Copies of this chain bind each other. A is one copy, B any other.
Amino acid sequence: MDVIVITGTPGAGKTTVLNKAIEMLEMRYDVINYGNEMFRVAEENKIVNDRDEMRKLPPETQKRIQKLAAKTIAEKAENAPIIVDTHCTIKTKKGYLPGLPKWILEELNPTAILLVEADPEEIINRRSSDETRMRDREHVLDIEDHQQLNRAVAMSYAMMTGATVKIIKNHDEKLEDAVRQMKDILG
């Protein structure tokens, strides 16, 4: 069965688009948040007690948990189609961390990768809940960079797995367009 990966930088509206698309579908997907699944697996294997500990794990342990989580998801996909909610890249102090490195892709074997995007200005507005909205030039360039790097890394995920990469623009006042596009792919 299909494993479909859904990604989007915070503020792009990934979850909103996904939930609305799923409501309209006949097909039943299991939606799995990859971060949650990693924590579940780590807890089950007595590697951590709480979520905070996840971040402090040595790289090799983290890699092992990532693989285990991917394997569990792939097993579930034998029975039902799965949507994996995760990140193309995660912006950290050390730089952009790939959400789906090789060892995850090899277990997960996604058939499609969806990137929900919006204009940087739209993302900045959606992220800010208060009056003081930052729309400075540097911030816009940062989000532009992030989305560009997400695209680049998504294409390397595609090379590795053969998955299709679909970009879904979720512009303000155009949510229905984004939902329809996602629905068409989830089928």
Contacts and interface: CB of A to CB of B under 8 A. Distances in A.
Interface in A92-108: 92-98, 100-103, 105
Nearest to A169: B141
Given A151-B152, A152-B151, A165-B149, A158 B96 contact: yes
A22 to B, nearest CB: 17
Interface string A145-167: 10011011101111111111111
Nearest to A148: B151
A121 to B, nearest CB: 16
Copies in the complex: 3
B155 A98 contact: yes
Contacts of A167: 95, 145
Interface size band for A: 35 or more
Given A63-B162, A152-B152, A159-B101, A95 B111 contact: no
A18 interface: no
A113 interface: yes
A176 to B, nearest CB: 16
Closest 6 CB pairs of A and B: A95-B166, A95-B164, A156-B156, A152-B155, A153-B155, A101-B162
